[in-house]
């Protein structure tokens, strides 16, 4: 098994995150928890690249469709479409427009439990119900209802890999090996070294 302190995850600041002037704010949220930035680039993705990105994990279509049906149910509403695959097909079309509408910033963050820690800091998919204190909970106010009514993707500022498997596939999709920078941070000693002796004279 990989060294758990070396786990990596992909974060993409979506076009609305850049337009809302939140790049520094978003990066600082991941930085301050102790994660290490090992890759970063700004690009305007193509529609093909975005479709590939969201379908790297074969289960994504089913899981995302079911998550949407449940989100409506939890609010006492019924989703207008009850086939999870049909729902995701529409979401994918909307995502291709959203994610190619301007530059995005792709990043690789590394550290202990990077995937789960980044998801926690990022917050749930729908800003209406994302926890306060998370990026999606604190900086944006969209909902499934609003985005459905306007026939567009939910604007939630950032993408973050949903699992370790997804992270591995996504990092390979967005970054070449030579674009990833392995290096040692001074703070790794206080985060990960077994002994903290030698801190006083
Ligand atoms: P997450 O980004 O939290 O991992 P998903 O993988 O389920 O969420 O969905 C990918 C992205 O698709 C979301 O971040 C959001 O921008 C968009 N999205 C998800 N569900 C919907 C929906 N019902 N309507 C519009 N856009 C959606
Ligand atoms: Mg996802």
Per-residue pLDDT tens digits for 32-66: 999 999 999 999 999 999 999 999 999 999 999 99
Residue 2 predicted with pLDDT over 70: no
The conformational region for residue 34 under phi > 0 = left, psi -120 to 50 = alpha, else beta, is: left
Burial of 29 (0-12, 13-18, 19+ CB in 10 A): buried
Helix axes 47-54, 84-99, angle to 10 degrees: 140
Q: How many CB atoms lie within 10 A of CB 7?
A: 21
Please state which of the ranges 67-76, 84-93, 132-141, 175-184 shows the lowest mean pLDDT: 67-76
Full-model pTM = 0.95
Instruction: Answer whether 129 contacts ligand 1 (Cβ < 6 A).
Output: no
Q: Give the integer Cα–Cα distance in Å for 172 and 100.
A: 19
Q: How many CB atoms lie within 10 A of CB 187?
A: 11
Instruction: Answer whether 162 contacts ligand 1 (Cβ < 6 A).
Output: yes
Q: pLDDT category, 1, cuts 50, 70, 90?
A: low
Q: What is the mean pLDDT of residues 132-153?
A: 96
Q: What is the CATH number of domain 4-182?
A: 3.30.70.141
**Active-site residue among 53, 113, 159, 185?**
159
Domain residue ranges of the chain, discontinuous segments joined by +:
4-182
């Amino acid at each position: 098994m990989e060294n758990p302190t070396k786990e990596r995850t992909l974060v993409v600041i979506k076009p609305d995150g850049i337009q809302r002037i939140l790049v520094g704010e978003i990066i600082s949220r991941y930085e301050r928890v102790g994660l290490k930035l090992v890759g970063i680039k700004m690009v305007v993705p193509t529609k093909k690249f975005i479709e590939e990105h969201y379908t790297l994990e074969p289960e994504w279509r089913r899981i995302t469709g079911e998550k949407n049906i449940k989100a409506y149910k939890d609010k006492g509403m019924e989703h207008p479409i009850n086939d999870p695959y049909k729902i995701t097909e529409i979401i994918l079309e909307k995502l291709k427009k959203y994610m190619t509408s301007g530059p995005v910033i792709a990043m690789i963050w590394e550290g202990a439990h990077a995937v789960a820690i980044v998801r926690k800091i990022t917050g749930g998919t729908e800003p209406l119900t994302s926890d306060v204190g998370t990026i999606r909970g604190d900086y944006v106010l969209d909902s499934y209802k609003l985005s459905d009514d306007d026939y567009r993707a939910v604007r939630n500022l950032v993408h973050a890999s949903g699992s370790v498997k997804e992270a591995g596939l996504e990092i390979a999709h967005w970054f070449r090996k030579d674009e990833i920078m392995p290096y040692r941070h001074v703070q790794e000693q206080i985060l990960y070294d077994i002994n903290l002796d030698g801190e006083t004279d």
